[in-house]
Structure 1
Amino acid sequence: MSSRRVPALALAADVIAVVVFAAIGRISHDESDGLWGLLGTAAPFLVGLAASWATPLVRAHPVGLRAGVVALGGTAVLGLLVRAAFTGRLPLSFAVVTVVSLAVLLLGWRALSLLVSHRAEQRAVR
């Protein structure tokens, strides 16, 4: 795969992870405002994700777990701050669920990618 495609695919995977997080949250709370509602829920976290992707580490090695931790931190912290600024509240339970859910999604695909890559390298050596 070309070196230009990897960052684009990694960014797409991160955006999908954030949208899935927002969709699951909306479904679990029976919120059905359609696409606009989903975008409104995802927007603060997409802002955080964009800020994370502005860092050199994430741009240089987007599939690495370190980049995943930076993406998680920026997405969760900035997303929660932006959300709190607009809603005027930030329940602790929401913050905990947000961080855990985003960790599973943003770190999960990276861990799976690294595992598959490692397995492919092992097979190529044989």
Structure 2
Amino acid sequence: MASPDRSAPPTGQILAAFGIDVVLVVIFAAIGRASHDEAPMAGLATTAGPFVAALVLGWLLSLAWRAPRAVVRTGIPVWIVTVAGGMILRAVTGQGVQVAFVIVAASVLLLMLVGWRVVAALVARRRSR
């Protein structure tokens, strides 16, 4: 019988990191809808859907569960795939992908998806002192 990998993060940490990412992507979509005078909740699934799907792909491609809070190993690839994949899915489904939107989405999602990992790393570093 194989022994469990002791270096793997606990399942709770993995689920929490994934949950944080999903919630942040949905918040991004809700803020975007509200900033365009659209009801934040009405149509939220349509707006957030492409980015959530791309986020899942980013997690799979980067093997994010191996180091869910890592800034460079996980945060950057998840962010890149979420933005690029989300824009591709928006284009395929007839939603807008104007240059200004791509820039804003990339910037906000960078701050959100990588930013929380930076904060977590700083807190962990401070606690270890």
- TM-based fold match above 0.5: yes
How far the C-alpha of 1:55 sits from its partner, in A, is 2.3
Q: Which runs of 5+ in 2 are unaligned?
A: 1-8
Q: CA RMSD in A?
A: 1.5
SS in 2 for 1:32: coil
Percent identity, aligned pairs only, is 33
1:38 maps to which of 38, 44, 67: 44
One-letter amino acid of the counterpart of residue 111, structure 1: V
Q: Please list, as runs of the form range in 1=range in 2, the aligned pairs for 1:16-95 lying within 5 A after superposition.
A: 16-32=23-39, 34-35=41-42, 37-66=43-72, 67-87=74-94, 89-95=96-102
Q: Distance in 2 between matches of 1:96 and 1:47?
A: 20
Taking structure 1 as the reference length, the TM-score comes to 0.89
Aligned to 1:96: 103
Q: How many residues align?
A: 120
Taking structure 2 as the reference length, the TM-score comes to 0.87
The runs of at least 4 aligned residues of structure 1 exceeding 4 Å deviation read none
Task: Say which structure is richer in helix.
Answer: 1
How far the C-alpha of 1:33 sits from its partner, in A, is 6.4
